[in-house]
Structure 1
Amino acid sequence: MMRARYVCAAASAVLIAGAPATAAAVSADGVRADAARTVSAAPVLRVDTTAQGAAAAALKHYPGVVESVDKDGSVWHVDVVAKDGKGHAELEVSAAGAVTERNRDTGGNAAENKALVDGKVTAEQAMKAALAAHAGQVTTVEWDDDDNAASWHVEIQGEDGKTWDAQVDPATGKVTGSGSDSDSDSDSDSDSDGN
């Protein structure tokens, strides 16, 4: 009888402490009876943040206009320009969506960022337009204003594994240039080697 009390007291202590154990009751004759079954925890699933999710997480951390999103392994590098055009932040977004600020600058030239800040089409809209033209996952989106012709450069990894490039017009959102460069790169590499 005394033994049953000690076992019951020990089982109660385990349950009160919150340990993930099987509760058991033991009768006076030493026979164990399961009072509850052990519940196994569900496995933790890895969540991979998309380019769109990385942009949204970065903007939540540092409000402004996304200038670029680029994936490096499982980490997204996101550059955001402040709405006044003077501030700039370099952020990293993990696969789970956690944001780390790597650099912040508040002394930028607003005139240099005017076209980006005033643009009608955001990086997020450019990604959406490019994905409507070609299915896959965005791996890079970048504001490109070289040669006085601004556009969004969007790279998509297609379901076939090939990289597809698109230029998105920042005024209309129209995909103005596109094509897969995987085949052309491998062809030009073999041609330049003489093989």
Structure 2
Amino acid sequence: MKRTRYVSAAAAVTLTVCGPVTAAAAVSADAARTVAAAPALRADVTAQGAAAAALKHYPGVVESLDQDGSVWHVDVIGKDGKGHAELEVSASGAVTEQNRDTDGNAAGSKALVSAEVTAEKAMKAALAAHPGQVTAVEWDDDDGTASWHVEVKGKDGKTWDAQVDPTTGKVTRSGSDSGSGSDDGGDT
């Protein structure tokens, strides 16, 4: 009779102590199978997020950014106008520096560095004119007139090109590059 009590007491203690551990191990093993079977999560970064991440890594002014698959290529001009960095921002927001130059032409970057409308504001203006997702933005002053060129992939699947004034933020020209013949080329 004493032996039965000891065995029963030992079994109760074992179940009390090991029961939760065994249950936790079973849950952990089941969760491990679930996690392994789940697809990898992507935290796709938007153009705005890529610009913010790049500027956090290399303070200055975004000169251009464009998307290549899940990677953003971002060119940043330093606040002094001399420095320049070519950065890549991954889908998770990680920044990798591809190239850095510290002896650029400050006079050539003066208009960009002093522009009232930044790349971020130009993206916002373009999205107000054509809702969707920005896929590229670029500073252009080749023809003597500075402007931002912003490419937006609309919710309808069409790609819109917008020209944004660097002083006012007004979308001065926009049109579709979808090949559907809906390129209005007019002011919005």
Q: Give 1:115's aligned residue.
A: 111
How many residue pairs get matched? 168
Amino acid in structure 2 at the alignment position of 1:110: A
Q: Deviations over 1:61-89 (max 9, x none)?
A: 00000001100000000000000000000
* Aligned with residue 120 of structure 2, among 120, 124, 134: 124
Give the CA deviation at 1:52. Answer: 0.2
Q: In proportion to residue count, which structure has more helix?
A: 2
Q: Give 2:44's aligned residue.
A: 48
Please show how residues 28-177 of structure 1 align to structure 2 within 5 Å. 40=31, 45-177=41-173
Which ranges of structure 1 fall in alignment gaps of 5 or more residues? 23-36, 186-195
Q: Give 1:32's aligned residue.
A: none
Change (3 A) 1:146 1:98: same
Which ranges of structure 2 fall in alignment gaps of 5 or more residues? 1-6, 182-188
Q: Give 1:21's aligned residue.
A: 25
Amino acid in structure 2 at the alignment position of 1:113: S
Give the CA deviation at 1:156. Answer: 0.3
Give the CA deviation at 1:184. Answer: 5.7
Amino acid in structure 2 at the alignment position of 1:21: A
**When the two structures are superposed, what TM-score results if normalisation uses the length of structure 2?**
0.79
**Cα distance in 2 for residues equivalent to 1:68 and 1:11:** 60
Percent identity (aligned): 71
* Local SS of the residue matching 2:143: helix
**When the two structures are superposed, what TM-score results if normalisation uses the length of structure 1?**
0.77
* Aligned with residue 181 of structure 1, among 162, 170, 177: 177
